[in-house]
Amino acid sequence: MNYLKVIICMIAAVFVVSWTGSSRAEEIVLGYTGPLSGPAAEYGQDIFNGIEMAVKEINDAGGIKVNEKNYTFRLEKLDDRVDPTQAVNNARRFKADKAIAVFNGVFNTIAPMMKINEEKDNEFIMMAYTSTPKVDTLGNKLTVTTTVSFTTYVKVFADWALKKGWKKCAMVVTFGAYGDEWRSTFKEYWVKKGGTITTDKPANYYTETDFSSPLTAALATKPDVMLIGGPSATTALVIEQARGMGFKGGFIMIDQAKQDYIAKLLKGTEVMGNLVGTAGVLSIPVVGNNFDERYTKTYNRMVTWECALNYTGMHALARAIVAAGTVDDVYKIRAAFPKALSVPLLGDKFPNEVFGITPTGRMHILASVQTITSGKSNPSVLYCWWPNTKKEFKAIKKKSAVKKNPIYWLKEK
């Protein structure tokens, strides 16, 4: 009799397991490869945190439904220390685990991954957090770019500096493809507008902490202003070391460096002097659904554009999967982004706004700019760079949940 009871219980257990297994949501695998150790680790961790936070929120809300089936997301991460070979190897490992998309935030590693993400039977969507405009010219049909092209910043930043009467600029910018392209684009615009580049001394912001050598060479040319930048933590060191070496001129920071995070590291904006760069997230007082409070509580660290833009990028990817009606056809998912973003992601619910996507895959995101004058921060302004007509610009401005900060049409500036 006891033996019969055991058999009955075992059969019942099998049915319970089978039933619960069939009702459980299936998983969609995603990967993140980036610098999670070394001097750029803070930058890489912020990117990952934003993606992870969005994944957790989507999963906690029940995931997504595609063709009447429920799906949740599983996010995997690997450190690549900004090594292109390691990043490619990491991407292949993710793909072996059936990942449909890989997130990354450094063009030096994004570019080599874009050479493999269209391989037959190994395709994945490249979720690229990079402002380099070169991404838009590579013809990759499986790339989505989750931030503004730095060409907007080159124009706005250079015009700001030139209006101050600064003509002589020394460049001490990060090594690599992204830094090379920034310096080249900036130099072309700067010289065209009547400025002079006194010297170009790239430095490795990903591995170095002592910038005395390139700074000494730059300061010897007596510049009015310096173009600097890479990851925020090492950019803060450049500012601190330049001031310690007696530089009293202005700084133009490339968009990878974030002045709110740098101000935290430098214990204020005083040492930054006169500076232009991307605005801090919280300087735009529409941070949707209390994102800053929720993020800080979860990760015990300040909000940056790295976490904010990648959080929104993850939500856009989830929308695109639903719009595509497939969880594994990456070409259909990528093609569904315009439909997914036909209803904008606005600042009342998200930490940044997305109004659509270009044919080459760059999201329509407002460019944020903030200046510091004599060590004190000025109010932030936003630039809308994609509309072709004033009518289109006015329609976007009307939709935006941002009302306290000025929004300009770049073509009018």
Q: Name the helix (H) or strand (E) containing 178.
A: helix 176-192
Q: What is the pLDDT of residue 11?
A: 41
In a domain, 141, yes or no: yes
Check: CB of residue 239 under 8 Å from CB of residue 254: no
Residues 136 and 37 grouped into a single domain: yes
Q: What is the pLDDT of residue 401?
A: 94
Record the pTM: 0.88
Residues 314 and 171 grouped into a single domain: no
Residues 91 and 191 grouped into a single domain: no
In which domain, by residue range, is 67 found? 24-148+286-340
Angle made by CA atoms 323, 31, 132, in degrees to the nearest 5: 80
Query: What does the block give as tokens for 36?
Result: 């999670």
| Cα(159)–Cα(189) distance, integer angstroms | 9
Query: What does the block give as tokens for 122?
Result: 């190994």
Residues 199 and 279 grouped into a single domain: yes
Residues 126 and 143 grouped into a single domain: yes
Q: What is the pLDDT of residue 288?
A: 75
Domain count, the chain: 2
SS3 content of the chain, % helix, strand, coil (to 5): 45, 20, 35
102 bridge partner residues: 31, 126
Look-up: residue for tokens 């976490």?
Answer: 307
Residue type, 69: K
Mean pLDDT by 10 residues, the chain (413 residues): 44 38 73 93 95 98 96 98 97 97 96 97 97 96 97 97 97 93 97 98 93 98 98 95 98 94 95 95 82 95 94 98 98 98 96 97 97 96 96 97 93 81
In a domain, 159, yes or no: yes
Residues 82 and 225 grouped into a single domain: no
Q: What is the pLDDT of residue 24?
A: 55
Task: Look up residue 282 and give its DSSP letter.
Answer: G
Residues 78 and 66 grouped into a single domain: yes
Of the three residues 323, 340, 357, the one that is the final residue of a domain is 340
Query: What does the block give as tokens for 112?
Result: 């080599």
Q: What is the pLDDT of residue 19?
A: 36
Number of other residues whose CB lies within 10 A of the CB of residue 366: 27
How many residues are given for the chain? 413
Conformation bin of residue 199: beta by default, left when phi > 0, alpha when psi is -120 to 50? beta
In a domain, 349, yes or no: no
Considering only CA atoms, which of 36, 43, 37, 368 is closest in space to residue 229?
43
Q: What is the pLDDT of residue 282?
A: 86
Check: CB of residue 44 under 8 Å from CB of residue 105: yes
| DSSP-based three-state secondary structure for 47 | helix
Q: What is the pLDDT of residue 412?
A: 82
In a domain, 102, yes or no: yes
Q: What is the pLDDT of residue 14?
A: 40
Considering only CA atoms, which of 129, 194, 123 is closest in space to residue 158?
194
172 bridge partner residues: 228
Residues 250 and 201 grouped into a single domain: yes
In a domain, 79, yes or no: yes
In a domain, 351, yes or no: no
Of the three residues 340, 355, 378, the one that is the final residue of a domain is 340
Residues 268 and 399 grouped into a single domain: yes
List the CATH number of the domain containing 71. Answer: 3.40.50.2300
Q: What is the pLDDT of residue 13?
A: 42
Residues 197 and 324 grouped into a single domain: no
Q: What is the pLDDT of residue 80?
A: 97
In a domain, 176, yes or no: yes
Residues 278 and 299 grouped into a single domain: no
In a domain, 6, yes or no: no
Query: How many alpha carbons fall within 13 Å on the CB side of residue 363?
Result: 31
Residues 120 and 232 grouped into a single domain: no
Of the three residues 322, 340, 358, the one that is the final residue of a domain is 340
